Structure 1
Amino acid sequence: MVKTLLEVFNEVKYPVVGHGKRNVQVLKDTFDHLSGDIDSDIYGTGKVIEDFQAKIAAYLGKPSAVFFPSGTMAQQIALRQWCDEKGSRKVAYHPLCHLEIHEQDGLRELHHLEPVLLADKDRLITLEDVRQMDDDVACLLLELPQREIGGQLPAFEELEAIAAYCRDKGIKLHLDGARLYEILPYYGKSAAEVCSLFDSVYVSFYKGIGGIAGAILAGEEAFTKQSKIWKRRHGGDLISLYPYIINADQAFDERLSKMEHYYEAAVELAEMYNNCGGLTTRPVVPVSNMFHVHADMPKETFEKVLIDVYEETGIGLTGNVREAGQGSYYEVSLGDRYEGIPKDLLKQAFVRLQAKMNDK
């Protein structure tokens, strides 16, 4: 039986991307060192959730924060609140925003909001795009970095200009900061400095941080107080969320200081890709720990090449290749695994990759 790319990737000795396997051991490791007498949170209250919310609010430079089981829930609620406040149904965001392509029209079906798509699919939103919005847009969402186009980022000065324009026009600015931590080394800014430009902020605890699940929505106290009501309406107030919260807290403390290292690793790895004929990265020089790899060959052909390389070297570059026009691509997101890969073996894998691609 022929194995799939993912099956072969899961068997390699040295997978390149991510922090590690998402298995039950992650949760076991979280609780091994804790006392069993710690009280759980109950319907959004209690020390374990309130302390964590205060900790992340301080980190983001916001007065208040609320823990949500998912970013999908948190962001739909944030946009709904800003629309209700202004009395408008319009929100603006990128055509490849998570709310537009991954949430089954939740914003439209659950909240009856009207998305306004800014910019072309293959580029970032600019100040000029924002200036051309209708004045009745209640909120503009910016995703930093813009994942679906390789994790690109606007210049910080562009962000400041967009924020100033939105304030002047009475348009709320919301940050999809699922990968906020990863962009800070490139900007050379603190989380609070970036978040000061935004009226509300969402951050994730399972992407770059590597937690099991969970998100924070932060902003002014009146905003987060109302978000708790919407959280209950969405069914997000589980009787207890402590497994996610305690794991998120541990992952936050463990990995926050490593973000610059992950970023530097991405720059190093992207150079290896770009020195391999037939492959290019987007962006050419990464601005975070993530980027996309584009190949000028069809998905099925490229997968066969990768499988051969994995089986010969024990290096796994990705488990998921997607179609892109006549070619194909995949996403790279670096974490703890990269440091443990022997560099000579990694270089050998790229030599084999080049040879295999030349044969196709």
Structure 2
Amino acid sequence: MPDDHRQRRLTAMRSCDRILSGSRPKTMRERLADVEAGGDLDEWPDFYGGGPVAALEERIAGLLGTQSAVFFPTGTMAQQVALRYGADRSGIPAAALHPLGHQEVHERHAYAELTGLRGVRSTDEPRNPTAAELAALGEPVSTVVIELPLRDAGFVLPAWTELVEITKAARAIGARVHFDGARIWESTPHLGRSLQEVAALADSVYVSFYKSLEGISGAVLAGTADLGDYARAWRHRYGGTLFQQWPAALAAMAGLDRELPRLPEYVAHARTVADALAVLPGARVFPRPPHTHQFRLWLPYPAAVLGEAVLALADRERIWFAGGWLDADVPGYARTEITVAEPALEWTAEDVIAAGALLLKEIG
């Protein structure tokens, strides 16, 4: 996204009294308030680990029920290490990946370019692979990656029984299981299990702090003690053991305190928002009901037209509808991702429909 358009969106969104999708953008000063909320700023910082970073690692290991948790500056780095670990321990330089997964779409194939691994398609369907598809791979893989939820398929999740069968099938073909859990926090309502129960199905789990938890940056790779030792060594080799990372760690702590307990409420309200949006003329919503607090919305207009209408609505009515429109794979439609967070909780179904009508009126 061009910087000037992003700035227009942020400025318009910040000026609004009501926000349907997303959270109010924060200035750097407001971000510092999040850091302060995450811990005692009079304590010592981290020095290549320790301090707030170690405290965050310990907290995540407790939340997920794992032996270790290692902080990384980026999820891309953490996921490379997870796949490298599987290949090194098994001697199999291949991993089962979804073509819509984060490693294939958003990491510039780092697993292949930097680690020399080969990706094997786990399925071509817009969902995570089934147990039968894994059993039919036809070649050995060291790791099977499951993204919870699969963002680029519409934030979709398997049912709990399906997820259990998937992990059993992966181990039956001699592979370890890695959960790309950048958004695992909001997956538990649909799966009907706790974070610890979900994480227990995997050999390693990556979690993010800046997406659902609204942190500054950072990620954790969690798993066994052996994985933890390996991850710390390779984090250093990749340049991820920074001198100090306390602002990101403390902001993550604040997000765990503030946002994590509210995510089930966001997920529940997303159903109300999705049903209301589906009433708009020509609208398409997927999945319905949403599996998490995020889902996709299509409207029958060009992306540029919708983007300008959203900005006009924000200027005229101080209402933020949704940004980030893209011309979609459905002819004549544009698509966006709706994120139901704290600001949307005050919206009734009638409010959503009324705002949608105002948006369409802006288009004319």
TM-score (norm 2): 0.91
Tell me which residue corresponds to 2:112. 108
Tell me which residue corresponds to 2:280. 276
Percent of matched pairs sharing the same residue: 30
Tell me which residue corresponds to 2:95. 91
Of the candidates 161, 164, 186, which is equivalent to residue 165 of structure 2? 161
Return the alpha-carbon distance in structure 1 between the equivalents of residues 138 and 230 of structure 2: 26
Report SS of the residue matched to 2:172: helix
Report SS of the residue matched to 2:259: helix
Is the 1:297–1:328 contact (alpha carbons within 8 Å) kept by the matching residues of 2? yes
Shift of 1:136: 1.5
- Work out whether 1:53 is the aligned partner of 2:63: no
Shift of 1:258: 0.3
Shift of 1:140: 0.6
Tell me which residue corresponds to 2:189. 185
What's the CA shift string for 1:68-93, capped at 9, x where partnerless?
11111100110011011111111111
Change (3 A) 1:164 1:28: same
Shift of 1:32: 4.3
Is the 2:276–2:349 contact (alpha carbons within 8 Å) kept by the matching residues of 1? no
Of the candidates 166, 170, 174, which is equivalent to residue 174 of structure 2? 170
- Work out whether 1:231 is the aligned partner of 2:264: no
Tell me which residue corresponds to 2:46. 41
Is the 1:279–1:296 contact (alpha carbons within 8 Å) kept by the matching residues of 2? yes
- Work out whether 1:287 is the aligned partner of 2:322: no
Return the alpha-carbon distance in structure 2 between the equivalents of residues 323 and 90 of structure 1: 34
- Work out whether 1:147 is the aligned partner of 2:151: yes
Return the alpha-carbon distance in structure 2 between the equivalents of residues 199 and 354 of structure 1: 48
- Work out whether 1:348 is the aligned partner of 2:360: no
1:238 maps to a residue whose letter is: L
Return the alpha-carbon distance in structure 2 between the equivalents of residues 200 and 211 of structure 1: 22
What's the CA shift string for 1:238-267, capped at 9, x where partnerless?
011111111101110111110111111211
Shift of 1:288: 0.6
Report SS of the residue matched to 2:178: strand
1:328 maps to a residue whose letter is: A
Is the 1:9–1:318 contact (alpha carbons within 8 Å) kept by the matching residues of 2? no
Is the 1:276–1:350 contact (alpha carbons within 8 Å) kept by the matching residues of 2? yes
- Most deviating of 291-300 and 258-267: 291-300
Change (3 A) 1:287 1:343: closer
Return the alpha-carbon distance in structure 2 between the equivalents of residues 184 and 275 of structure 1: 28
Report SS of the residue matched to 1:142: strand
Is the 1:95–1:121 contact (alpha carbons within 8 Å) kept by the matching residues of 2? no
Report SS of the residue matched to 1:137: coil
- Work out whether 1:315 is the aligned partner of 2:319: yes
Return the alpha-carbon distance in structure 2 between the equivalents of residues 83 and 172 of structure 1: 10
TM-score (norm 1): 0.92
What's the CA shift string for 1:173-224, capped at 9, x where partnerless?
0001111111112222100101111000001111111111111110000111
- Most deviating of 150-159 and 33-42: 33-42
Return the alpha-carbon distance in structure 2 between the equivalents of residues 177 and 108 of structure 1: 21
Tell me which residue corresponds to 1:330. 336
Shift of 1:49: 2.2
Shift of 1:307: 3.8
Tell me which residue corresponds to 1:132. 136
1:286 maps to a residue whose letter is: P
Change (3 A) 1:270 1:224: same
- Most deviating of 131-140 and 255-264: 131-140
Shift of 1:340: 4.9
- Most deviating of 122-131 and 264-273: 122-131
Return the alpha-carbon distance in structure 2 between the equivalents of residues 94 and 269 of structure 1: 29
| RMSD over equivalenced CA pairs, Å | 2.1
Consecutive unaligned residues of structure 1, counting only runs of 5 or more, are none
Return the alpha-carbon distance in structure 1 between the equivalents of residues 217 and 36 of structure 2: 19
Is the 1:62–1:220 contact (alpha carbons within 8 Å) kept by the matching residues of 2? yes
Of the candidates 202, 216, 232, which is equivalent to residue 198 of structure 1? 202
Return the alpha-carbon distance in structure 1 between the equivalents of residues 78 and 229 of structure 2: 13
Return the alpha-carbon distance in structure 2 between the equivalents of residues 283 and 43 of structure 1: 43
Tell me which residue corresponds to 2:305. 301
Report SS of the residue matched to 1:53: helix
